[in-house]
Chain A
Amino acid sequence: MSGNFLVYIDQFKGQALPTSWEVLSAAHYLAEKLGGSIYALALGEASQAVAEMAYQYGVEQALYCDDPSLADYRPEPYTALVSKIAQEKGVGVLLFPTTSRGREVAAMCAVDLQGGVMPDVTELEVVDGKIIATRPVYAGKLLAKAVCDVEPAIITTRVRAFKKPQGDASRAGVAQRVDAVMAEGDIRTKVTGYAQAGGGVSLTDANVIVSGGRGVSNNPNLTPPADMDEKQAEIWRAQQGFKLVGELAAVLGGAVGASRAAVDAGYIPYAHQVGQTGKVVSPDLYIACGISGAIQHQAGMRSSKIIVAINKDPDAPIFKLARYGVVGDLYAILPPLTEAFRKRLGK
């Protein structure tokens, strides 16, 4: 591999996604081994300030384009511009964060540039001048090594897999504006609006996740309103349980997760699902409440640093992964646990 490095800084309305800076760590590691300069690129509304933040993490040059045609993310104009910059700057390796946008533009640039794409990479090494990327496959049940035999190699790094580099505010610079490639009239899509999600901490970025499973509906002491049928009452009970899960998550500054069973039963929206057909997460602390730990759920959270399991069933498979376990009722344990953290964290 030879050539320069292009790092795509993913941003939304002037806010860089935190994982974007982690990509610069991966770029610095590769540049040290292979030589070459690092360029950073941010596209979209208010992207100049985002691009300029890259200077403090050490880049040769930051580039941006805030052309109105790029105000909202659309893959075609974004890809066209990233591909053009890669060619102009003699780029041998393109790096993206594994966000919905990053993964997509990476995939499409690979077609434009006849490069090889290796998404969602957790480790990089350089052997005999070749990049060997490690990526979890089968939702992390296995690790595959990937090698790209052509240039450019196109890599997306998994959220939280690489450490954000130390910033140095004294390294500042002015980003260079580049022109859009596609004219608005040639773009076949139009973004007409946004509907915001409920907010809160994003699961994949979260340092702490508190998750609930089937067990959250399992409190016979609660009396649901009289006019509810059986299914409504079950969901009502589950929502009381998720309230406790949410309170603990809030005190810990974390996000709320859920098992597939809880999502399929209608207790909580799909956006919270952790597992093979949900989100794959690796927080520092994962607290599983009323989750038995099916193999598909484990696939989504097994790389968490410290796992805590609270479950009534002492034989639940989740205990095999857990550093700490409580065999007991989450309804009894969660309120005093939330209180205990509130005291310790001064909240």
Chain B
Amino acid sequence: MNIVVCVKQVPDSAAKVVAEGGRVTWGDAPLVLNPWDEFAVEAALILQEATDANVTVISVGGESTKEALKTALAMGCGQAILISDPALEGADSRAIAQVLSAAIQKIGDVDVAFFGKQAIDGDMGVTAAQTGRFLGWPVLSLASTIKLEGDKLVIERSIEEGRQIVESKLPAVISVSKDIGEPRYPSFMGIRKASRANIPVWSLADLGIHAPTPLVRWPDVVNPPAREVKTEIITGDSPQQIAEQLADKIMEEKVL
């Protein structure tokens, strides 16, 4: 069995992200493996343990993206591939999905492609679905449990109404929800292996495609309007008195 995990490198979730002149800045905060993608790596490794599969982690990005791939290698993925090409500057989600689907096809004989739910930078949450559509594979999003039963996958999906249980033939695209369980920490051996890994880089020419034309542009990014809050601290002689005052204040706001 062959498994691919598609990941993205993003600024750390604790970064102080600020827009400056229409561009996003995050100071000296580190770039990390997208937190949602850690769950995708975890799901892939759970399936690998059950099936003895090969797990390949791939990402589209610049040279620095190798660090995110190394995190996934240290967690236990078998090999990594970076897809990097200057022509992908300004690529939109659809273009990235097209590139990922071409890479998955080039890897060949892939049974399952895992994705995180969304990336914490763009918060688009469409890459798994779009990649699946390009591949023509079933898309199973927000998976909370994944089992292989014979030649089909049995998946529980976390949806608004609870859990939907779905069976799917292979190959399939799966996006993973946090319910899958806490992602494992990289092991000491894993970190050593990852630090020595030689990660191949594929260009668009290697994939045999041209840079897809972006259909969505992002002409500007701004800081949200500052929250003008004057905080009123409610005090009193007893919790009862504080509670009564606070309830009155909230009732006056007419939000209930």
| A296 CB–B CB distance under 8 Å | yes
B126 touching A106, Cβ below 8 Å: yes
The interface on chain A, measured as residues whose beta carbon lies within 8 A of the other chain's beta carbons, has a size of 96
| B229 CB–A CB distance under 8 Å | yes
Question: Chain A residue with minimal CB distance to B35?
Answer: A277
CA distance A132 to B221 in the complex (A): 12
A147 touching B247, Cβ below 8 Å: no
Residues of chain A contacted by B179 (CB below 8 angstroms) = 270-271
Residues of chain A contacted by B215 (CB below 8 angstroms) = 110, 114-116, 148-150
| A85 CB–B CB distance under 8 Å | no
Interface-central residue, B125, B134, B158, B182, by most chain A CB under 10 Å: B125
CB-defined interface of A111-140 with B at 8 Å, one 1/0 digit per residue? 110111111100000000000100111111
Residues of chain A contacted by B243 (CB below 8 angstroms) = 333, 336-337, 339-340
Q: A142-B19, A148-B216, A192-B167 are in contact. Are A111 and B256 (CB under 8 A)?
A: no
Residues of chain A contacted by B121 (CB below 8 angstroms) = 137-138
Tell me the chain A residues, 65-101 only, with Cβ under 8 Å from chain B.
72-76, 79, 99-101
| B189 CB–A CB distance under 8 Å | no
| B130 CB–A CB distance under 8 Å | yes
CA distance A336 to B160 in the complex (A): 33
| B159 CB–A CB distance under 8 Å | yes
- Interchain nearest-CB distance for A35 vs B (Å): 22
B256 touching A345, Cβ below 8 Å: yes
CA distance A252 to B251 in the complex (A): 11
| B147 CB–A CB distance under 8 Å | no
A340 touching B244, Cβ below 8 Å: yes
Q: A111-B134, A320-B231 are in contact. Are A99 and B141 (CB under 8 A)?
A: no
Tell me the chain A residues, 142-178 only, with Cβ under 8 Å from chain B.
142-150
Choose one: A110, A197, A252; the contact of B163 (CB below 8 Å): A197
| A196 CB–B CB distance under 8 Å | yes
B141 touching A189, Cβ below 8 Å: no
Question: Chain A residue with minimal CB distance to B34?
Answer: A277
CA distance A9 to B222 in the complex (A): 31
| B217 CB–A CB distance under 8 Å | yes
Choose one: B162, B167, B216, B256; the contact of A196 (CB below 8 Å): B162
Residues of chain A contacted by B229 (CB below 8 angstroms) = 307, 320-323
The interface on chain B, measured as residues whose beta carbon lies within 8 A of the other chain's beta carbons, has a size of 82
Residues of chain A contacted by B244 (CB below 8 angstroms) = 336, 340
Residues of chain B contacted by A74 (CB below 8 angstroms) = 138, 166
Tell me the chain A residues, 255-277 only, with Cβ under 8 Å from chain B.
264, 270-271, 273, 276-277
Tell me the chain A residues, 293-326 only, with Cβ under 8 Å from chain B.
294-296, 302-303, 305-308, 319-326
CA distance A167 to B231 in the complex (A): 38
| B63 CB–A CB distance under 8 Å | no
Residues of chain B contacted by A188 (CB below 8 angstroms) = 137-138, 168-169, 172
Residues of chain A contacted by B249 (CB below 8 angstroms) = 324
CB-defined interface of B228-241 with A at 8 Å, one 1/0 digit per residue? 01111111000110
| A231 CB–B CB distance under 8 Å | no
Tell me the chain A residues, 233-250 only, with Cβ under 8 Å from chain B.
none
CA distance A333 to B220 in the complex (A): 45
Question: Chain A residue with minimal CB distance to B116?
Answer: A277
- Interchain nearest-CB distance for B179 vs A (Å): 6
Residues of chain A contacted by B250 (CB below 8 angstroms) = 285, 306, 308, 324
Choose one: A189, A194, A322, A336; the contact of B161 (CB below 8 Å): A194
CA distance A193 to B157 in the complex (A): 11
CB-defined interface of B216-228 with A at 8 Å, one 1/0 digit per residue? 1111111110010
Choose one: A107, A120, A341; the contact of B129 (CB below 8 Å): A107
- What are 20 A-B contacts with C-beta separation under 8 Å? A103-B126, A107-B133, A117-B124, A119-B126, A136-B123, A139-B123, A141-B224, A144-B122, A147-B216, A189-B172, A191-B166, A195-B163, A197-B163, A207-B255, A277-B35, A285-B250, A305-B255, A325-B234, A329-B239, A333-B242
Counting from the closest, the 9 A-B pairs by CB-CB distance are A107-B126, A116-B215, A336-B243, A340-B247, A197-B162, A107-B129, A284-B255, A116-B216, A111-B133
Known: A100-B159, A195-B165. 7 other contacts (CB 8 A): A111-B133, A118-B216, A147-B219, A189-B140, A270-B179, A308-B246, A333-B242
Interface, chain B (partner A; CB < 8 A): 11, 13-14, 16-19, 24, 35-36, 92-94, 97, 120-126, 129-130, 132-134, 137-142, 154, 156-169, 172, 178-179, 182, 215-224, 227, 229-235, 239-240, 242-244, 246-247, 249-251, 253, 255-256
